[in-house]
C-alpha cells in the first residue's frame, strides 16, 4: 500500500520538532486529520494528495505516489541511549554522516548498528553496518536485480559513505553483476579511505526491545516511545507535542520502522508535565508487548484486523512472545523480510468467476528465529486463518525451547579448538594489521598472499605508510 500514498522523505528517520510541526500543519491545510509512518522511517499521508497541491508545498520533500524514483535513508540513530549500541557510534556521528547526503537516493540505503534490534540491518539495496573499528563500516549490497546480499570487499570510512552510495547509483547503468565489479568501478572513480576487512561481521542476538512508554536514559533524562494501533497520528496532538518539545529544548524526534516514534532527552523535571500532557490527550503508553512487535503493511485494514485477531488469541492463552517479531505480508509484493516470523498471504487462484474461496496463509520463520540470518524456513503452507493462532503458539514455544541452544552449541564446538600462533605484519604508524589469510582487496592483493610477496610499493591501506613501516607480529587464533 505504501506506493499508493504520498510520502515525505525523513532522512535517517530523524527530524526536529519544528519540522514535524510544519509537516502536521501542511497536512492540516490539505484537509487531513492525521499522518502515518512508513517502514522506512518516512512519513505518509493516509490519503491521496493531488499533484497540483503537492507542487504548491515548500520546505518539505513530498514524493508523489506515482514517483518510485526516490527512497528514504534508514538509520539506527534511534537506538542510541535506549538499547545496546556500538560505543563509537554516537548520535552526532549519525547526524554528520546523514549530512553528507546532498541528493535524494534512488536506492534504499540503511545505516545501522549491528548491536541494536530496533532497526533492520539488511532491508536496503546498500546496507552500511558499523564495524568494531571506529568510523569504519561493512557494506552489504543487494541491487534491485540481485537475489542475495554480497559483502563489499573493504570497510568504508564514515565520511565516504555518501559519495560511495552516490557513485554506486551512477554506475547502475553498467548493470554490475558482482560486488567485485562494483568495487573496481568505484575505486576507479573515487579516492576513498578504505580499510581492509580483517574479520567477518558478527551480529549478536539481542531480544527485540520494548519501545513504548517513558524510560530513564541516565540520572536526569528520559525517552518516550509512542505507538498507535491504527498508525494514524492525530495532527492536533503532534502539533501540541512539538510545542512541548520546543519548551524543553528537545532537538530531535526519531521515527521507528515499527510505525511509532521516540522522543529522547526529556528532562527529569519535565517528566510530570509530559505525563499530564499524555493524559490530557488520552494517550495510552501501556500497550501489551504482544502487539508492539508486529510489522504490517501501511493503511491495510485487513492486516490490522488479522493482527488484532491473533494478538487477542495470544492474550487469551497467556502466551509470551518476548524477543520475537511478526510480519504480515501481502501476496502482491516481493518482500525482504526482517521479522522472526512471517505470515504470508497466498494469492487467490485466477478465473474463479463468482466462486469465492477462503484466504489461505503460509508461515515462515527465520533460522534460529533470528531475522539477521536472512534465511527463512517454511513452517506450514496453505492454512486457514482460524488455524494461525495455534500454529503461531507452537512456533513461540519452539522459539523458547531453542533459545540459547545455538550459543551452547557454539561453545561445545569451540571447546576442542586449539590455539595456534600465526605470523602477521602490523603498521607502526596506525596499527593496521596485514593478515595474509585475508589479503588486501582494497589494493588488489588476493587472500593467501604472504607479506614477503607483496610488491615493494605496497602501502598501508589506512595511512599510506610504506611497506617497510610494517613489523612482524605473532597473533593467537583458535583452530579446530
CA dist., res. 32 & res. 239, Å (int)? 13
DSSP state of 466: B
pLDDT at 343 over 80: yes
Contacts 24+ apart (CB under 8 A), 306-309: 306/343, 306/385, 306/388, 309/385, 309/389
pLDDT at 355 over 50: yes
Q: What is the DSSP string of 217-255?
A: SSSSEEEEEEE-TTS-EEHHHHHHHHHHHHHTT---EEE
pLDDT of the residue at 474: 79
Q: What is the pLDDT of residues 361-383, one digit of tens each?
A: 999 999 999 998 888 999 999 99
Q: Which cell is 342 given? A: 512471517
**CATH number for the segment(s) 418-479:** 2.20.28.10
Instruction: Tell me how crowded residue 460 is: count the other CB atoms within 10 A of its CB.
Output: 23
Q: What average pLDDT does the structure give for the chain? A: 87
- CATH code matching the domain that covers 213-287, chosen among 3.80.10.10, 3.30.470.20, 3.90.480.10, 3.30.980.10: 3.90.480.10
CA dist., res. 27 & res. 30, Å (int)? 5
Class of domain 291-407: alpha beta
DSSP state of 447: T
CA nearest neighbour of 287 among 207, 228, 235, 339? 228
Q: What is the pLDDT of residues 122-164, one digit of tens each?
A: 999 999 999 999 999 999 999 988 988 999 999 999 999 999 9
pTM, entire model: 0.81
Identical fold between 2-189 and 213-287:
no
Q: Residues 256, 258, 264, CA angle at the centre, nearest 5°?
A: 30
pLDDT at 440 over 90: no
The residue to which cell 487462484 is assigned: 349
Question: Domain locations in the chain?
Answer: 2-189, 213-287, 291-407, 418-479
CA dist., res. 473 & res. 381, Å (int)? 55
| CATH 1.10.10 corresponds to the domain 2-189 | no
What backbone phi and psi angles, to 5 degrees, belong to 295?
-115, 120
Amino acid at each position: 500500500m505504501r506506493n499508493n500514498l504520498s510520502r515525505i522523505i525523513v532522512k535517517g528517520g530523524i527530524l526536529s520538532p519544528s519540522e514535524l510541526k510544519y509537516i502536521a500543519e501542511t497536512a492540516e491545510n490539505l484537509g487531513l486529520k492525521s499522518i502515518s509512518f512508513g517502514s522506512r522511517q518516512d512519513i505518509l499521508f493516509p490519503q491521496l494528495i493531488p499533484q497540483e497541491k503537492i507542487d504548491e508545498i515548500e520546505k518539505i520533500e513530498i514524493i508523489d505516489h506515482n514517483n518510485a524514483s526516490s527512497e528514504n535513508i534508514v538509520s539506527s540513530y534511534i537506538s542510541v541511549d535506549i538499547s545496546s549500541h556500538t560505543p563509537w557510534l554516537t548520535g552526532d556521528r549519525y547526524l554528520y554522516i546523514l549530512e553528507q547526503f546532498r541528493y535524494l537516493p534512488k536506492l534504499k540505503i540503511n545505516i545501522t548498528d549491528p548491536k541494536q534490534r530496533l532497526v533492520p540491518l539488511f532491508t536496503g539495496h546498500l546496507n552500511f553496518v558499523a564495524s568494531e573499528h571506529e568510523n569504519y563500516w561493512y557494506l552489504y549490497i543487494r541491487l534491485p536485480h540481485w537475489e542475495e546480499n554480497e559483502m563489499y570487499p573493504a570497510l568504508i570510512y564514515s565520511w565516504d559513505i555518501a559519495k560511495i552510495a552516490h557513485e554506486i547509483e551512477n554506475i547502475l547503468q553498467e548493470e554490475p553483476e558482482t560486488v567485485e565489479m562494483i568495487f573496481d568501478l568505484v575505486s576507479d572513480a573515487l579516492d576513498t579511505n578504505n580499510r581492509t576487512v580483517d574479520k567477518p561481521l558478527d551480529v549478536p542476538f539481542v531480544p527485540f526491545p520494548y519501545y513504548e512508554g517513558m524510560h530513564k536514559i541516565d540520572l536526569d533524562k528520559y525517552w518516550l516511545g509512542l505507538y498507535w494501533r491504527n498508525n494514524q497520528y492525530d495532527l492536533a496532538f503532534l502539533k501540541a507535542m512539538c510545542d512541548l518539545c520546543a519548551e524543553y529544548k528537545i532537538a530531535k524526534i526519531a521515527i521507528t520502522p515499527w510505525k511509532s516514534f521516540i522522543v529522547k532527552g526529556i528532562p527529569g523535571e519535565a517528566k510530570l508535565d509530559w505525563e499530564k500532557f499524555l493524559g490530557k490527550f488520552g494517550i495510552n503508553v501501556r500497550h501489551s508487548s504482544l502487539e508492539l512487535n508486529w510489522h504490517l503493511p501501511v493503511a491495510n485494514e485487513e492486516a490490522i484486523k488479522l493482527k488484532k485477531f491473533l494478538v487477542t488469541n495470544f492474550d487469551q492463552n497467556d502466551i509470551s512472545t518476548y524477543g520475537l517479531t511478526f510480519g504480515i505480508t501481502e501476496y502482491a509484493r516481493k518482500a525482504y523480510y526482517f521479522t522472526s516470523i512471517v505470515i504470508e498471504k497466498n494469492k487467490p487462484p485466477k478465473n474463479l468467476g463468482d466462486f469465492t474461496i477462503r484466504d489461505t496463509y503460509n508461515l515462515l520463520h527465520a533460522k534460529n528465529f533470528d531475522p539477521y540470518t536472512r534465511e527463512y524456513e517454511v513452517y506450514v503452507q496453505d492454512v486457514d486463518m482460524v488455524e494461525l493462532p495455534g500454529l503461531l503458539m507452537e512456533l513461540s514455544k519452539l522459539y523458547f525451547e531453542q533459545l540459547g541452544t545455538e550459543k551452547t552449541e557454539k561453545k561445545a564446538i569451540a571447546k576442542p579448538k586449539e590455539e595456534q600462533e600465526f605470523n602477521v605484519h602490523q603498521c607502526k604508524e596506525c596499527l593496521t594489521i596485514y593478515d595474509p589469510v585475508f589479503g588486501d582487496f582494497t589494493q588488489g592483493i588476493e587472500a593467501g598472499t604472504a607479506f614477503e610477496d607483496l610488491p615493494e610499493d605496497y602501502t598501508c591501506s589506512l595511512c599510506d605508510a610504506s611497506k617497510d613501516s610494517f613489523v612482524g607480529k605473532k597473533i593467537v587464533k583458535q583452530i579446530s
